[in-house]
Amino acid sequence: RKEVEQDPGPFNVPEGATVAFNCTYSNSASQSFFWYRQDCRKEPKLLMSVYSSGNEDGRFTAQLNRASQYISLLIRDSKLSDSATYLCVVNWGDSGGGADGLTFGKGTHLIIQP
Amino acid sequence: DTGVSQDPRHKITKRGQNVTFRCDPISEHNRLYWYRQTLGQGPEFLTYFQNEAQLEKSRLLSDRFSAERPKGSFSTLEIQRTEQGDSAMYLCASKPEGSGLGEQFFGPGTRLTVL
């Protein structure tokens, strides 16, 4: 199922700053990509799906580069509440068959400082 | 609460004991997944079910681990002869039929500590 690599951080960023995370994945056949957010001792929750055309949700922008097998997340105007671990996630499954499951990166720890 | 639920939320056991965890997926979600997360790592896939059929098992799922979903609704994960290395958060997730490779919805997890 191969791997997902991301910088574990921590990233210490002042409130209001812009921060970018990147990750790479090794399975070129992967078809589905996500960023999940995980707060301390909580379950992962979907932040956003990632599409080849790039997508934006408020202050968050995600990009996918299939040729480079690279995924990014940009957070603008960061808030204290953005402090969390951000997990880069790839579904190694086959949309036409039964294979289905997520491979997670180790997560990037973000700390927004007042 | 109509989300994924897991029971118990915490379990402390002694090495060598058997433990069983339960997961109740979101109603009508036919796919159910188990993951394990250790400190400082992302979740790792263990196994998944489509209805009652177990379709994938990770090599992480040793012969001490068994998962069932007998009626295609709730699922159980049993660990026999627990070892200290089994200490982790066990996460369950579900998603509806027809969602392709889309979002999985996670439960709050069961935190296992093996002494």
DSSP code, position A63? E
Percent of chain A with pLDDT over 90: 75
Task: Report the residue of A43, A85, A89 to disrupt the B interface, i.e. the one with the largest count of B CBs within 10 Å.
Answer: A43
More confident: A1 or B113: B113
Q: Do A4 and B42 touch (CB under 8 A)?
A: yes
Res. A94: pLDDT tops 80: no
pLDDT of res. B97: 79
Q: Which residues of chain B does A103 touch, with a Cβ-Cβ cutoff of 8 Å?
A: 45
| Mean pLDDT of all residues belonging to chain A | 91
pLDDT of res. B9: 97
Q: Do A43 and B31 touch (CB under 8 A)?
A: no
Q: Which residues of chain B does A87 touch, with a Cβ-Cβ cutoff of 8 Å?
A: 42-43
Q: Which residues of chain B does A33 touch, with a Cβ-Cβ cutoff of 8 Å?
A: none
Q: Closest-CA residue in chain B for A100? A: B101
pLDDT digits (tens, 9 = 90+) for A21-69: 999 999 888 888 999 999 998 999 999 999 888 899 999 999 999 999 9
The amino acid sitting at B103 is E
How far is residue B101 from each of residues A55, A76, A90, A101, B54, measured CA to CA in Å? 18, 28, 10, 8, 17
Q: Closest-CA residue in chain B for A97? A: B100
Residue A82 φ/ψ region, left for φ over 0, alpha for ψ in the -120 to 50 degree band, beta for the rest = alpha
pLDDT of res. A54: 86
Cβ–Cβ under 8 Å, residues A6 and A26 = no
pLDDT digits (tens, 9 = 90+) for B44-56: 999 999 999 999 8
Res. B28: pLDDT tops 90: no
Q: Do B103 and A43 touch (CB under 8 A)?
A: no
Cα A62 to Cα A50: distance, rounded to the nearest angstrom: 6
